[in-house]
Each structure stands twice: as C-alpha cells, then as structure tokens.
Amino acid sequence: MPLHSEDAPALPLDAQGILELAARSMFQLFSSVSQGMFLVDKSGRIVWVNEGYRRFLPDLGVGSVDQFVGRMVEEVIPNTQMRRVLETGQPVLIDLLTNKAGTFVVSRIPLRDDADRVIGAIGIVLFDHPETTLQPLISKFALLQRDLDDARRELAAQRGRSRLGVAGDGERRAKYTFASFVGSSPAAAEVKRQARRAAQSSSPVLLLGETGTGKELLAHAIHAASSRASGPFVSVNIAAVPDTLLEAEFFGVAPGAYTGADRKGRDGKFKLADGGTLFLDEIGDMPASLQAKLLRALQEGEIEPLGSNKLVPFNVRVVAATSRELPALVREGRFREDLFYRLHVLPIRVPPLRERRGDIPALIEVLGEDLALRNGTAPPELLPDAMALLAGQAWRGNIRELRNVLEQAVMRSDSLSIDAAQLTAILREAGVEPAAPAPDAGGQGGAPDQQSLLRPLSVQVAELERRAIAAALAAHGGNKLATARQLGISRATLYGRLENPD
Ligand SMILES: Nc1ncnc2c1ncn2[C@@H]1O[C@H](COP(=O)(O)OP(=O)(O)OP(=O)(O)O)[C@@H](O)[C@H]1O
Ligand SMILES: [Mg+2]
C-alpha cells in the first residue's frame, strides 16, 4: 500500500497551519474520549460545556445547562481548582477532584491569546469512577498508604515507650495482649478462643484473614499469653524484604562469609527469636527457594546460616500470617503444599469486620479513645446517623480502614461530633462508594432481633435486598455490571432496584 495516496488531503504547508490543525484535532479527541469538558472565561465564568459533561450536572445539583453556563465555576463545581489555573497560568495535567458528584481524574489547561495572555481555561474530566478505572494504581497507593500508617504508628508507639523510659529491648516484646483485641461478637469470641488455645501449644500457628483484620495483633497476643512470653517476639514482613536478602534475614550470615560490612557475620531472625516467637508476616509472598529452606528448618529444627556449613539448632515458635488465599496459591503451585501443611497445624481464620458488625460500636469507642489520647483531645462523638453509616459499610480494609476513616473525620471536623455527611465525603474520597446505613446500628449486628423478624416479610426482604445491593456495589467500587453478576440478577433488575428501592 502506498504511504501517501495522491488524492488524500495534505497537511497544511505552514507551521501555523499545522499547529492549528493539531490543536483542533486534540480538542476534538479530548472532547470525544474524555468524560466531559467545559470552558471558563478569564473571570472564571462558565461559558461552554460539551455533551459529555451534562450527565454530571444532576449530581452537582444543577437542573439544566442554562443554570450551569454563566455561573462562576466555584459556585457550581465544589472544590474546583480552575481559579488557580487562571491566576497562575499553569496547567494541572492530572489531579483528583472530589466533591458531592464523586471523585474524578481531571485535567485543567489555561487558554492563551496571541499575546500569550491567559484568557480562560478548559476543564477536562478524564475519568469518573477512578476507583474502578484506575484500580491497579489505587491498590498500589492503598498498600503504600497502609505501610505508611503502620510505620507512623510504630514510630509513635516507640516514642511513647521511650518517653515512659521502657528499656530498648521493649521492641522485642509483644505490644498487644488478648485484651487489645476488641470485640465480643460470636465471631470475635471464637477467634479469641482459638488463639488462646493456640497460645497453650508450641506448634506453628497460621493466621488467615483479610488485610486489617488484626492478624498481627493476634500474633502478639498469642506470644504474650504463651509460655514464651518472657522471650523475644521477632517479626519479619516477608513482603517488605527484597527476595535476595531474605535468606540472610532469616538464617543469618556466618562470620567471614562476606567481605566488608558483614565480615563479622550477622544473626538471623531465627537466632534473634531464640526462646521466643518468630512472626512470619505475609508468608504467602515467600519466594520458592526460601520456602524450601524454611520447610527444611521447620522439619529439622536446625538452620544453616549463609556461608556456613554448620547446622545450628533453634528454639523458636513460629506464627505465620497472610491475607492471601493460601490454598489457592498451593493449587497454582506458587506455595509448596508440604510447607502449607507444616504451617497449617493450628489455622485460625480471622473474620472480616463485616462478619462481626456488632463489634463496630465498641471498636469505634476504643479507636476513638486511642486517637484522642494521641492527639491530646477529647474522643470524637458519633451522631446516630454516622454510627448507622459506619455499621453498614463493607470495610474491605477492615479495622485499619475503620480507624483511618475515624482519624480523617477527627482531623477534619471543627467540632467533636461527627455526622454521616462528613463520613460519606471521607469514604468517597478514599474511593469507596458508601453503602446504605445499617438499620440496626449498635445492635448485635448480623442476626436481626426478634422484633424486626416480626415485621411483614415483604419489608424484611426489601431491606435485605437493599443491604445486599449496597454491599455488592461497595465491593465492586460502584460497578453495576459486576454487582449484578455477583448477585446473580440482571442489570435491568439492579437498575430497577436502585431507582425504586421499595
Ligand atoms: N480486634 C481489634 N481491636 C482493636 N484494634 C484492632 C483489632 N483488630 C485490628 N486492630 C487494629 O487494626 C489495625 C490493623 O491490624 P493488624 O495490623 O493486626 O492487621 P493485619 O491483619 O495484620 O493486616 P495486614 O494483613 O494488612 O497486615 C492495627 O492498628 C490494630 O491495632
Ligand atoms: Mg499485618
């Protein structure tokens, strides 16, 4: 095929013409692939919106295009940063904007005249529902945020300890006991019962549960309640150590194995935990080569430091944890079956928060007091609608997520009382579409009480449907197709229920 067809329209020959053409093409491209666009003049007044943008108007509380065009941008788009672009003349190529209409990935570009003066700006909504379209990025961000939160808390705890004058080796002591595990729901009581039993034994314990459910807390508590309580508690986060360094981290390095800094040799975690408990966190992330070595160590009760040919016996009780589906990893051949069974002697499934909603009020109380203590303020007070809202969420980040939401609410609220609207905004900003409030907040969630079971069946069924839909929507970041699939209903049925919930 010829590269240039004779009768194809040609590019303009002058640079200006090409630029104009490029500008026009880009504008058309953005207008068609973006979710919406609008223009403001120099004073920040909206002068134009494209077709795509119109669907955001109802969520912004604007009835029609006529009520939108002609208004000052900040009057109709809360939290917009368009004015800054007009003032500075600097584009914002990518940003997250959250307001009552949701969270959006946006771009803001100044428009200049021939004399290079800013005469307006263009706002582009690149994606709406970034929580679904940008899922990989957001998950990564959430993971980093999680580690940052944990590190900050650890630092605060260490500072607290040094203020109290606790000896340095306090770091190797358990930080939590079973009393720290808040919850009296049947599911919480059961997990504590199993963990207490595990504390009496010296076999390996395997803690399985979603992120933020309290696995690490339980590992500390098991150690503190065991006969090894006076020995060290040493933890290794396998996901956080580069694969190439893990072996040395675990088994240590013999003197003379390396030149340089490590010449003298270094104790591994097995040695450091001698007489105590070794907590292997994120065990599902362990590389295959190390799995084989760990298995051998557990079978023989001996380790071989790097660069040594001597086996050294160890006296350590292993507690492992993971939020991954370990049996699935075994099926996929990514986790050794023999190691799995070695560790699976005392498995404890730590339930997600949504299976023990009855504990939410007590958790809010304790987490609130903890926050208050750290900030030197009074504990926050949640209004009933806020309590009901929190009790109804899916809490995929479990207790860590609950704590973060409370922390945000306290940080942002001028007064100590927190209402549902504030929490809704915080959840949205975190990329979570809030689920419907739980009707029985404060009750022993899960099982409905006798009185509510005596209401007309149609009312109860409708209520259950609403809750199921809200939970599934939250779990799928508002994606309706995935929600309908999960619930085994058609999309039309789902839309019907959403539009007309009763
Ligand atoms: N039952 C509980 N009572 C009070 N606080 C809790 C409870 N469970 C968890 N927490 C708190 O929630 C946060 C997360 O808990 P933890 O670090 O133990 O979770 P995890 O299961 O190890 O999560 P991940 O898999 O993400 O590492 C911690 O600050 C912990 O103190
Ligand atoms: Mg953990």
pLDDT-based confidence at residue 277 (cuts at 50, 70, 90) = very high
- Which of 172, 164, 74 is closest to 121 using CA atoms? 74
What's the 5 CA to ligand 1 centre distance in angstroms?
66
pLDDT-based confidence at residue 66 (cuts at 50, 70, 90) = very high
C-beta separation of 398 from 143 below 8 A: no
Within a 13 Å sphere around the CA of 245, how many CA atoms are in the beta-carbon half? 11
Atom of ligand 1 nearest to the CA of 397: 26
Distance CA 199, CA 192 (A): 10
The closest ligand to the CA of 179 turns out to be 1
What's the 220 CA to ligand 1 centre distance in angstroms?
11
- Which of 146, 149, 195 is closest to 174 using CA atoms? 195
C-beta separation of 321 from 219 below 8 A: yes
Q: How far is CA 348 from the centre of its chain?
A: 23
Residue nearest to atom 15 of ligand 1 (CA): 214
Distance CA 270, CA 301 (A): 11
Over the chain, what is the mean pLDDT? 85
Question: Is the predicted pLDDT of residue 482 greater than 80, yes or no?
Answer: yes
Residue nearest to atom 23 of ligand 1 (CA): 212
pLDDT of residue 131: 66
Atom of ligand 1 nearest to the CA of 216: 18
Distance CA 21, CA 250 (A): 62
Question: Is the predicted pLDDT of residue 85 greater than 90, yes or no?
Answer: yes
Structure tokens at 136: 């990989």
Comparing 469 with 115, the larger pLDDT belongs to 115
Segment 316-332 shows an average pLDDT of 95
What's the 281 CA to ligand 2 centre distance in angstroms?
6
Strands 46-49 and 417-418, bridge-based pairing? unpaired
pLDDT-based confidence at residue 258 (cuts at 50, 70, 90) = low
Question: Is the predicted pLDDT of residue 104 greater than 60, yes or no?
Answer: yes
pLDDT-based confidence at residue 454 (cuts at 50, 70, 90) = confident
What's the 466 CA to ligand 2 centre distance in angstroms?
33
Distance CA 19, CA 83 (A): 27
Comparing 258 with 380, the larger pLDDT belongs to 380
Atom of ligand 1 nearest to the CA of 213: 21
3-state secondary structure of 280: strand
What are the pLDDT digits (tens) for 118-170? 999 999 999 887 766 776 676 667 667 767 777 776 676 666 555 554 444 44
pLDDT of residue 442: 43
Tell me the pTM.
0.61
